[in-house]
């Protein structure tokens, strides 16, 4: 089992398969994707070696992310190889949802269990303003299609000070009938966008008391659960989750490790630098990789240092997938 020196166990791998994205979210790639950090992103055989090693070390959940993972033509092959790996029980992806209406069935048939779709507003104009893409209607059709083919659906919404009041009410209205888990994510500071962060960061903590006052009840966390605290309410088909990376003790329940599309292991979303595991992946040596991963885990720190404005090597989250 992958375990660090603070006793935390790592059941959950977040695997970025590309840095490329065709959206221009204001908090991530406002000027668009500028090109890769390495000559090539991880190949399918390299990903197979990686996922096999993690699975043998106790990882049961893989999230395929990016950049935008669905931009890879071999995305269904990546899902399929995760599905074929012994020990992997849950396969999820995070996507902007632009291809969901068309591809949800193919992804489900390849073995996908869950899709997280990023939707920052249900107002088409605001959505286009935040993401640089006028595609809200298409993406909402994709959410319906994903539910129809039997995928579990979560929606990621970054809390932005300028839009929060509107965001909250329109999403709550939507959740009365829509059986998805909507997760409000507190904006995190990244190296490229300190100014945007200073203007738009809003603590999500007051929303927690608001939800409890309105009769929402906490849902018990599973072993491979993500970072959200989730709540349900008898009058709503959907659930609400809060991801509060600035809250006290956020890191104490960390169960995730990340591998970037360039083959670097990141022990934290905001670590100082990625650790190169690509030679082991190229070699295809699962046993040697397992030993190496266990050694590297000794370097994991107790917490991130975001409170001190230290964003580590993360210039934007498209590098690593959030
Ligand atoms: N392209 C995919 C998508 O649009 O969901 C996956 C990559 S995206 C980087 C993953 C998630 O990170 C999205 O839900 C996005 O909203 C979130 N994200 C990106 N930058 C963020 C930031 N600075 N703070 C909080 N969440 C962020």
Measured in angstroms, how far is the CA atom of residue 245 from the centroid of ligand 1?
A: 13
Largest CA distance in the chain: 55
d(CA 314, CA 245): 15
Q: Are 298 and 4 in contact (CB under 8 A)?
A: yes
Measured in angstroms, how far is the CA atom of residue 228 from the centroid of ligand 1?
A: 14
Measured in angstroms, how far is the CA atom of residue 258 from the centroid of ligand 1?
A: 14
Q: Are 2 and 57 in contact (CB under 8 A)?
A: yes
Ligand 1 atom nearest to 116, measured from its CA: 5
* Angle 287-291-296 from CA coordinates, rounded to 5°: 140
Ligand 1 atom nearest to 117, measured from its CA: 5
Bridge partners of 271? none
80-89, 168-177, 251-260, 307-316: the lowest-pLDDT one: 307-316
pLDDT, tens only, 67-100: 999 999 999 999 999 999 999 999 999 999 999 9
Q: Nearest 10 degrees: CA dihedral of 52, 56, 62, 67?
A: -50
Percent of the chain past pLDDT 70, that is, above it, reads 100
pLDDT, position 269: 85
pLDDT, tens only, 306-319: 777 777 777 888 87
Q: Give the pTM.
A: 0.95
Q: Count CA within 13 A, CB hemisphere, residue 240.
A: 28
d(CA 124, CA 68): 21
Tell me the domains of the chain and their CATH numbers.
12-319 (3.20.20.70)
């Amino acid at each position: 089992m992958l375990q660090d020196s603070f006793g935390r166990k790592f059941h959950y791998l977040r695997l970025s398969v590309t840095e490329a994205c065709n959206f221009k979210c204001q908090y991530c790639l406002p000027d668009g994707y500028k090109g890769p950090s390495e000559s090539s992103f991880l190949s399918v055989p390299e990903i197979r070696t990686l996922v096999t090693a993690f699975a043998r070390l106790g990882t049961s959940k893989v999230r395929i992310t990016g950049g935008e993972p669905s931009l890879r033509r071999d995305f269904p092959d990546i899902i399929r190889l995760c599905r074929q790996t012994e020990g992997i029980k849950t396969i999820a992806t995070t996507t902007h949802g632009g291809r969901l209406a068309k591809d949800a069935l193919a992804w489900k048939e390849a073995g996908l269990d869950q899709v997280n779709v990023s939707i920052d507003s249900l107002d088409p104009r605001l959505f286009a303003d935040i993401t640089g893409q006028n595609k809200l209607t298409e993406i909402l059709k994709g959410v319906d299609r994903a539910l129809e083919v039997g995928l579990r659906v979560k929606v990621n919404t970054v809390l932005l000070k300028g839009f929060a009041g509107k965001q909250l009410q329109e999403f709550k209205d939507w959740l009365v009938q829509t059986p998805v888990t909507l997760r409000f994510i507190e904006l995190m500071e990244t190296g490229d966008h300190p100014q945007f962060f200073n203007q738009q960061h809003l603590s999500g903590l007051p929303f927690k008391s608001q939800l409890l006052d309105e009769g929402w009840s906490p849902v018990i966390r599973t072993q491979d659960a993500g970072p959200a605290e989730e709540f349900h309410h008898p009058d709503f088909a959907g659930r609400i989750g809060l991801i509060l990376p600035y809250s006290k003790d956020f890191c104490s329940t960390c169960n995730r490790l990340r591998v970037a599309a360039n083959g670097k292991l990141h022990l934290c979303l905001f670590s100082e630098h990625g650790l190169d595991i690509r030679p082991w992946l190229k070699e295809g040596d699962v046993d040697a990789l397992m030993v190496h991963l266990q050694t590297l885990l000794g370097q994991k720190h107790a917490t991130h240092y975001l409170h001190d404005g230290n964003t580590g090597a993360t210039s934007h989250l498209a590098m690593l997938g959030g």
